[in-house]
């Protein structure tokens, strides 16, 4: 892969997204948000790649994956008006469909196309396939970490300013009950990530994102989560009760113990 390929991919992405961002109404904000999210994930992948000391070729592949990981979101939003895959379709698979339909990766070698599509396809999976290995596994892990880190930032930003700009898509159409669905807290305390299908309230979404600390693949990712105080900031939007206090203490201990073992 060459630098010229990366320049072409960014140009293609901007031109592909432009019509989706030329609409009027409530969905415009969501289209613009997904475009911004994509750019930030590219930056996050670059940051993680630098910390992991990736060579130029691997950085090119990682940036391509980051640029295209959510390209299916725009069609999903236009067609279904939701981010919730359960109520629409799997946006990762839709992203692969867009890439294949548009033929945008044809300039790459067959191996490069395989790595990009494999990581895009798996970036939102609950767990990665057991038979995935090598570079496909590495790049899938990298995009999953970068994506999660930015989604947490987006969630914090949204709920900080929610009263000024409420957005039903950001809330997945879930009710604001001021509580979490029974059973989810115990999963977090057992170091289990939450499945999206089990979420029923807005607080469940925040709890799921806190549980992502158990799924980070690189120490650098967990350190960014810790340094940015994402736990402290996100948990302020959850109920102030004994169960959430247990969650906070448990995650704080997990993060501290994990980082101390890796350093």
Reported pTM = 0.94
d(CA 102, CA 97): 8
What residues of the chain score a pLDDT lower than 50? Answer: none
What does the pLDDT look like over 87-97, one tens digit per residue?
A: 899 999 999 99
The predicted structure's pLDDT at residue 259:
94
DSSP assignment of 28-39 equals HHHHHHHHHHHH
Which pLDDT value is given to residue 25?
73
The CATH H-level (homologous superfamily) assignment of domain 3-147 is: Hypothetical protein af1432 (1.10.3210.10)
8, 115, 18: which is closest to 57 by C-alpha?
A: 115
- Domain residue limits, the chain: 3-147, 174-262
Tokens found for residue 92: 């990762």
DSSP 200-242: -SHHHHHHHHHHGGGG--SHHHHHHHHHTTHHHHHHTTS--SH
The predicted structure's pLDDT at residue 262: 65
CA 185, CA 207: separation in Å to the nearest integer?
Answer: 8
Quote the pLDDT of residue 172.
86
Contacts of 222 (CB under 8 A, 6+ apart): 213, 216, 255, 258, 259
| Distance in angstroms (rounded) separating the CA atoms of residues 156 and 230 | 8
């Amino acid at each position: 892969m060459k630098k010229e390929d990366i320049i072409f991919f960014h140009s293609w992405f901007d031109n592909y997204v432009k019509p989706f961002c030329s609409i009027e109404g409530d969905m415009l904000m969501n289209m613009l948000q997904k475009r911004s999210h994509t750019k930030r994930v590219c930056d996050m992948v670059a940051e993680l790649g630098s910390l992991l000391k990736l060579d130029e070729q691997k950085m090119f592949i990682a940036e391509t994956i980051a640029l295209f990981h959510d390209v299916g979101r725009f069609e999903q939003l236009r067609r279904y008006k939701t981010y919730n895959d359960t109520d629409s379709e799997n946006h990762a698979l839709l992203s692969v469909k867009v890439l294949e339909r548009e033929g945008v990766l044809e300039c790459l070698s067959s191996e490069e196309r395989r790595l990009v599509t494999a990581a895009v396809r798996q970036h939102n999976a609950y767990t990665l396939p057991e038979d995935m290995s090598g570079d496909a596994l590495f790049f899938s892990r990298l995009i999953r970490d970068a994506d999660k880190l930015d989604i947490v930032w987006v969630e914090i930003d949204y709920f900080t300013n929610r009263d000024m700009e409420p957005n039903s898509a950001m809330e997945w159409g879930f009710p604001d009950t001021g509580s979490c669905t029974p059973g989810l807290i115990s999963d977090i305390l057992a170091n289990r990530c939450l499945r999206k299908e089990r979420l029923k309230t807005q607080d469940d979404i925040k709890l799921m994102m806190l549980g992502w600390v158990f799924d980070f693949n690189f120490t650098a990712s967990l350190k960014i989560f810790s340094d940015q105080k994402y736990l402290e900031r996100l948990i302020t939007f959850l109920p102030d009760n004994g169960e959430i206090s247990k969650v906070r203490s448990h995650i704080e201990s997990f993060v501290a113990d994990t980082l101390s073992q890796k350093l």
